[in-house]
A and B are shown apart, each in its own frame.
Chain A
Amino acid sequence: MFQYYFLLGLRSLRRNPALTALMVLTLAIGVAASISTLTILHVMSGNPLPHKNDRMFVPLVDNGSLSGYTPGNESGDKQLSYRDAVNFQNSKIGERRSVMYGVGGAIEPARKDIGAFSSQGLAAYRDFFPMFETPFLYGQPWSAADDAAGTDVIVLSRKLAEKLYGDSNPVGQRITLMGFQFQITGVLDKWDPVPRIHRIIGSGAFGSEDSYFIPFTSAIRHQTAHNGSMSCSGNREPGFQGTLDSECTWMQFWFEMASDGQRAELQNYLDSYAQEQRKLGRLKRAAPNRLFSIDEWLVHLRVVGNDNKLSAWLAFGFLALCLVNTIGLLLAKFSVRASEVGIRRALGASRSDIFRQFFIETTVIGLAGGVLGLLLSFGALALIGMQSKQLTVAAHMDWVMLAMTFVLSVAAAILAGLLPTWRACQVTPAIQLKSQ
């Protein structure tokens, strides 16, 4: 009977084209408004490494001064000092770990037709690549020995490699960065995680990609200045070494544990570390030491702004208005079908048969609204994407949201159709048949 009811539903779409078009359009507009804002939220709050959510963590310790500190107040600092970051790196805790900070410098291409240009990159440990599952087009990350020795080696982004070397494999060649020669060990394939969880602080969750990656130890050896924010609560000696020795926070750190469920182990380490540093007189505050999973990190850094959430609520409010209109239109559409209901009841349809028929008919309307809503959503996302660079990155529909469009549309149509369908089931056949 499902096929029969579905065909009746399709036939019903043609019965009153103007009313049907109005209903489908109303539903589609409501769905498009909701889906487009929901897509932005979904992409913004998305986790590019969901399978590692319970084993990748950002550690934070509060190394602020006691001046102006009220116990219990949470520190607003979201980065680590060089000293804490290096201590974590040397801790041997977890399967992988990497300190990282943004760097910027001039690249001097060997090709004469391309002049020197500045470009942003990231200084990290080799663990960064497997931890964030970066795909390699050519070559591989540098070695652990390179990390230890601070060797001048480099991994290029695909975009930079193509700019400098075209389609050829540049692994093994040397590139001049910040006046030093770096040997290329690998080229990343296209890698565009959204949001860019490893660079939310610095270039932003939806900022442009890094053009190159160099060993952290090499960057420190060359006294490469950081490219990003820095927070200093105490005195700092001048010079690069002064920054390294200070309690200024400017580095980010990620741990990857061997398996899920090792958070407590990492937390214990962090607490022991902080206690030890307090004994050494470094950490002054008795503040909690915090760990953030990927999802928690996204929330903590407010990747999804309140304005985005408000937009979504407004869009759903608009969808509710559209639903009310659709209910009215469905009531009108179904009320003129009372005689048909009477006939079907007389011929053997039970109330539940009538319910199924009209339920499937509203589902067909929902599917039609979903198709149109999807087209309108693409249009709306294109318009939203024009508003800013950040929104351009976020305004892309994936398969989840595509499926969600249909689910939302059908659910909305079914919701809107419940009252009209229930009323259709209450038709008294005897009255309808006599009034024909």
Chain B
Amino acid sequence: MLRMQNLNKVYRTHMIETHALRGFEIHVKQGEFVTVTGPSGSGKTSFLNIAGLLEEFTDGEYILDGVNVRGMDDNARSRLRNEKLGFIFQGFNLIPDLSLFDNVDVPLRYRGYNSAERRERIEDALAKVGLASRMKHYPAELSGGQQQRVAIARALAGSPKLLLADEPTGNLDTQMARGVMELLEDINAQGTTILMVTHDPELALRSQRNVHIIDGQVSDLVHKGPTLASSPAKAGSNTATA
């Protein structure tokens, strides 16, 4: 589903070069639920942004669902992002002056679906997260947990192959966080690959595989889930593979 090989990301200013990712290697298979942990500044977010085609990398290879993204122009990257990826953020990132229906509608508009298909997908997605009855409501009228469910519905509406979640429970209390996590597990059980950045070790333990990043390199792998294949990576290696 996702493969990065010898990938580097360097942020440059006129004075300083910062290596966010160095020789980064990871391979995530279709249907996996992978958590990414690591201390602040380790490169988790850079990795997720590059994986989500929100940032370009300096060099290396990145293959997303069989497509080499190197050198793609903005239109092609945007189309790929729209078709293959779903995003869930810590801050929910709903558009406040759009109703839940219209928020979920946003990625479908860019996909070019017709009105009937968009409506069906929006209603299905909101029904999946238990908010079908509130589609006319606005984000401010919902709790944090409900807003995150809308964000999940929005991410799911386009049937993405890979769901990227950046600390999706970070702004939620324990009970709400558990609910969101269960929802993500259900989604994964239905075949969607999930890559989730988290600071919460408990959530990391619930995933099938945990990738630990330090100083822009994969430093540790924990394989637990049944979907993982053999060839466990060695501790200290900068390669995460399944």
CB-CB under 8 A from B166, the residues of chain A are 433-434
Most A Cβ at <10 Å: residue of B45, B82, B94: B82
User: Are B45 and A434 neighbours in the complex by a CB distance under 8 Å?
Assistant: yes
User: Are A347 and B89 neighbours in the complex by a CB distance under 8 Å?
Assistant: no
User: Are B82 and A347 neighbours in the complex by a CB distance under 8 Å?
Assistant: yes
**Which of A15, A352, A433 is within 8 Å of B93, CB to CB?**
A433
B40 to chain A, nearest CB (A): 12
**Which of B78, B94, B158 is within 8 Å of A349, CB to CB?**
B78
Q: Say which one of A20-28, A119-127, A336-344, A358-366 lies at the interface with B.
A: A336-344
**Which of A1, A4, A346, A428 is within 8 Å of B52, CB to CB?**
A346
A428 vs B53: C-alpha distance when bound (angstroms): 12
B97 and chain A: residue at smallest CB distance? A15
A191 vs B102: C-alpha distance when bound (angstroms): 58
A5 and chain B: residue at smallest CB distance? B109
A123 vs B97: C-alpha distance when bound (angstroms): 72
User: Are B93 and A349 neighbours in the complex by a CB distance under 8 Å?
Assistant: no
Most A Cβ at <10 Å: residue of B49, B91, B93, B158: B93
> Contacts A1-B109, A430-B55, A436-B91 hold; do A348 and B81 have CB atoms under 8 A apart?
yes
A345 vs B85: C-alpha distance when bound (angstroms): 12
User: Are A347 and B74 neighbours in the complex by a CB distance under 8 Å?
Assistant: no
CB-CB under 8 A from B82, the residues of chain A are 347-349
A174 at the interface (CB under 8 A from B): no
A4 vs B49: C-alpha distance when bound (angstroms): 28
A353 at the interface (CB under 8 A from B): yes
B95 at the interface (CB under 8 A from A): yes
Within 8 A of B (CB), among A1-40: 1, 4, 11, 15
A241 at the interface (CB under 8 A from B): no
B43 at the interface (CB under 8 A from A): no
User: Are A343 and B93 neighbours in the complex by a CB distance under 8 Å?
Assistant: yes
A152 vs B55: C-alpha distance when bound (angstroms): 92
A351 vs B97: C-alpha distance when bound (angstroms): 22
**Which of B45, B74, B93 is within 8 Å of A436, CB to CB?**
B93
CB-CB under 8 A from A340, the residues of chain B are 95
A10 to chain B, nearest CB (A): 12
A352 vs B73: C-alpha distance when bound (angstroms): 12
User: Are B78 and A429 neighbours in the complex by a CB distance under 8 Å?
Assistant: no
B87 at the interface (CB under 8 A from A): yes
B47 to chain A, nearest CB (A): 11
Within 8 A of A (CB), among B81-112: 81-83, 87, 89-95, 97, 106-107, 109-111
Query: How many A-B contacts are there with CB distance less than 8 Å?
Result: 69
CB-CB under 8 A from B107, the residues of chain A are 347-348
A47 vs B94: C-alpha distance when bound (angstroms): 58
CB-CB under 8 A from A351, the residues of chain B are 74, 78
Number of residues on chain A facing chain B (CB within 8 A)? 24
> Contacts A340-B95, A346-B93, A436-B91 hold; do A429 and B110 have CB atoms under 8 A apart?
no
A247 vs B89: C-alpha distance when bound (angstroms): 93
User: Are A343 and B78 neighbours in the complex by a CB distance under 8 Å?
Assistant: no
A433 to chain B, nearest CB (A): 6
**Which of A4, A345, A347 is within 8 Å of B154, CB to CB?**
A347
A209 vs B92: C-alpha distance when bound (angstroms): 73
CB-CB under 8 A from A350, the residues of chain B are 74-75, 77-79
B54 at the interface (CB under 8 A from A): yes
A4 to chain B, nearest CB (A): 6
> Contacts A343-B95, A350-B74 hold; do A433 and B89 have CB atoms under 8 A apart?
yes
User: Are A348 and B78 neighbours in the complex by a CB distance under 8 Å?
Assistant: yes
CB-CB under 8 A from B49, the residues of chain A are 430
> Contacts A430-B49, A430-B54, A433-B89 hold; do A348 and B79 have CB atoms under 8 A apart?
yes
A343 vs B87: C-alpha distance when bound (angstroms): 9
A310 vs B95: C-alpha distance when bound (angstroms): 48
User: Are B93 and A11 neighbours in the complex by a CB distance under 8 Å?
Assistant: no
CB-CB under 8 A from B91, the residues of chain A are 433, 436
A7 and chain B: residue at smallest CB distance? B102
CB-CB under 8 A from A428, the residues of chain B are 55
CB-CB under 8 A from B154, the residues of chain A are 347
A1 to chain B, nearest CB (A): 7
A15 vs B90: C-alpha distance when bound (angstroms): 25
CB-CB under 8 A from B90, the residues of chain A are 436
CB-CB under 8 A from A430, the residues of chain B are 45, 49, 54-55
**Which of B75, B78, B94, B111 is within 8 Å of A345, CB to CB?**
B78
User: Are B54 and A353 neighbours in the complex by a CB distance under 8 Å?
Assistant: no
A430 vs B74: C-alpha distance when bound (angstroms): 14
> Contacts A347-B87, A350-B74, A436-B89 hold; do A4 and B45 have CB atoms under 8 A apart?
no
B91 and chain A: residue at smallest CB distance? A436
A352 vs B75: C-alpha distance when bound (angstroms): 8
A353 and chain B: residue at smallest CB distance? B110
A191 to chain B, nearest CB (A): 55
CB-CB under 8 A from B93, the residues of chain A are 339, 342-343, 346, 433, 436
27 contacts between A and B (CB under 8 A): A340-B95, A343-B95, A344-B110, A345-B78, A346-B52, A346-B93, A347-B107, A348-B79, A348-B82, A348-B83, A348-B107, A348-B110, A348-B158, A349-B82, A352-B74, A353-B78, A353-B110, A428-B55, A429-B54, A430-B45, A433-B54, A433-B89, A433-B93, A433-B166, A434-B45, A434-B166, A436-B90
Across the A-B interface, the 4 shortest Cβ-Cβ residue pairs: A348-B82, A436-B91, A350-B78, A348-B110
Write the residues of chain A forming the contact surface with B, with a CB cutoff of 8 angstroms: 1, 4, 11, 15, 339-340, 342-353, 428-430, 433-434, 436
Besides A347-B87, A348-B83, A433-B54, 16 other CB < 8 A contacts? A345-B78, A346-B52, A346-B81, A346-B93, A347-B81, A347-B82, A348-B78, A348-B111, A348-B158, A350-B74, A351-B78, A352-B75, A430-B55, A433-B89, A434-B45, A434-B166
